[in-house]
Amino acid sequence: MWKNKMVLVTGGASFIGSHLVDTLLERGAIVRVADDFSSGKLSNLEYKLKRDSAGAWVSNNLTVWQGNLKERSFTRRMMEDIDVVFHLAALHGGRGYIDTHPAQCCTNMILDQLVFEEAFKAEIDRVCFASSACVYPSYLQEETGSSYLLKEEDADPFVRDKAFADLEYGWAKLMGEMALKAYHRQYGMKTSSVRIFTAYGPRENETHAIIALIAKAFVKMDPFVIWGTGEQDRNFTYVQDIVDAMILAAEKIEDGTPVNAGRDDRITINQAAELVFDIVGWKPKDIKHDLSKPQGVASRAADLTRARRILGWEPKFSYKEGFEKAVEWYFANKSIEEVKINLEKLLMER
Ligand SMILES: NC(=O)c1ccc[n+]([C@@H]2O[C@H](COP(=O)([O-])OP(=O)(O)OC[C@H]3O[C@@H](n4cnc5c(N)ncnc54)[C@H](O)[C@@H]3O)[C@@H](O)[C@H]2O)c1
């Protein structure tokens, strides 16, 4: 399906976006990235990019444009001759960011609606949206040590008492999903939404839990600070698994049905920290739990019934494999001095 397809990846210079671009290029697609580099980085696209006379960066089948997708003329230009859109551009970060930047997260609603409207006008064949586990009601995730698996029907804006998203960020994602269903219902546009659960891996920033733990181990923070009790658990999912789910969703879902991309097993933050210590071969003498910091919901994991049935997908990377890859990347690419000086800011700012 992907050979010579013209694919736009909004936010393609981001952590997940750049891995998606890599996989699409491997499959033979011709990829255009549109990103304002507000958190994405050109260096995440590890190709020999050259600036052309029009101002884009180009390398073989990849073209990268810098611009703000909240500006309609730029968005419209990005849609020209495109077959498939993966929409990842968003103001987003880890818990520290979304807790303290509610107004910024609300602006995602403008961005999403503009991208979808311009995609429709340009008669784009398929649109796949990077949604989030934050669409799920936080009250289903409040019990420490829970075994509850979040099912797609637990967050449905059209079923009474089934919509109660996690913060403004989660509501904005749910409204994005709702719009894509509407475009399908009214115009037949082929759409899909992938509910991404706590992705991690190379190129992610320190506002997310696993990279934050790795950064603190990198600078040998001691006492080692963990946000909250550390007994909150998550189903951390390796980025390549997320990318595979998004590509399958774009191939197989046409009616806007949302689908989970995450794991159905979970580990606590304390266990994640122990795994990081094992991999880096260093352990702090003292661990402190900072209860004043945001820690998000108590427990979160995904039901994979729909993903298995519709996509034939499940995560392939174990926690150990994924953590090793993330540590290897972090240690090879960061400078201890720089991380040490900027750590507090890195943990909060996207
Ligand atoms: N990382 C996760 O665990 C996770 C979980 C759920 C959903 N998501 C979603 O996946 C997508 C990618 O997230 P990520 O974690 O890879 O990194 P990210 O949040 O840094 O990605 C967002 C990208 O969008 C770009 N961007 C923001 N505003 C823009 C604008 N107005 N115009 C053009 N570009 C703009 C940024 O520069 C960045 O490259 C986001 O939509 C995010 O909400 C991520």
Each residue's pLDDT, cut to its tens digit, for the chain (350 residues) gives: 899 999 999 999 999 999 999 999 999 999 999 999 999 999 999 999 999 999 999 999 999 999 999 999 999 999 999 999 999 999 988 777 888 899 999 999 999 999 999 999 999 999 999 999 999 998 999 999 999 999 999 999 989 888 899 999 999 999 999 999 999 999 999 999 999 999 999 999 898 899 999 999 999 999 999 999 999 999 999 999 999 999 999 999 999 999 999 999 999 999 999 999 999 999 999 999 999 988 888 999 999 999 999 999 999 999 999 999 999 999 999 999 888 888 877 777 76
Q: Is the peptide bond before 137 cis (omega within 30 degrees of 0)?
A: no
Cross-strand pairs, 51: 57
The finding on whether 107 has its CB within 6 A of some atom of ligand 1 is no
CATH superfamily assigned to domain 90-201+236-265+299-316 = NAD(P)-binding Rossmann-like Domain (3.40.50.720)
| 93 Cβ contact partners less than 8 Å away, ≥ 6 residues apart | 39, 101, 205, 207, 208, 349, 350
| Cα 128 from chain centre | 13
Tokens representing residue 14 in the block? 């981001």
| 85 Cβ contact partners less than 8 Å away, ≥ 6 residues apart | 7, 8, 9, 10, 79, 115, 119, 124, 126, 127, 128
- What pLDDT is attached to residue 350? 66
| Cα 324 from chain centre | 20
Distance CA 196, CA 179 (A): 18
Closest alpha carbon to 343 in 255, 220, 164: 220
Whether 118 contacts 79, CB under 8 Å: yes
The torsion of the CA quartet 156, 251, 263, 274, rounded to 10 degrees, works out to -130
The finding on whether 11 has its CB within 6 A of some atom of ligand 1 is yes
Cross-strand pairs, 85: 8, 127
Q: Choose the residue to mutate in 8, 10, 14 for probing ligand 1, maximizing ligand atoms within 8 Å of C-beta.
A: 14
φ, ψ for residue 74, nearest 5 deg: -65, -45
What amino acid is encoded at 268 in this protein? T
The finding on whether 132 has its CB within 6 A of some atom of ligand 1 is yes
What amino acid is encoded at 67 in this protein? G
Q: What is the pTM of this model?
A: 0.96
- What pLDDT is attached to residue 348? 72
Residues comprising the chain, all counted: 350
Distance CA 247, CA 311 (A): 9
Tell which atom from ligand 1 comes closest to the C-alpha of 13.
Answer: 39
Query: In angstroms, how far apart are the furthest CA atoms of the chain?
Result: 60
| 40 Cβ contact partners less than 8 Å away, ≥ 6 residues apart | 11, 12, 13, 14, 17, 18
φ, ψ for residue 334, nearest 5 deg: -115, 155
Cα(279) to ligand 1 centroid in Å equals 28
Report the nearest-CA residue for atom 1 of ligand 1: 199
The finding on whether 70 has its CB within 6 A of some atom of ligand 1 is yes
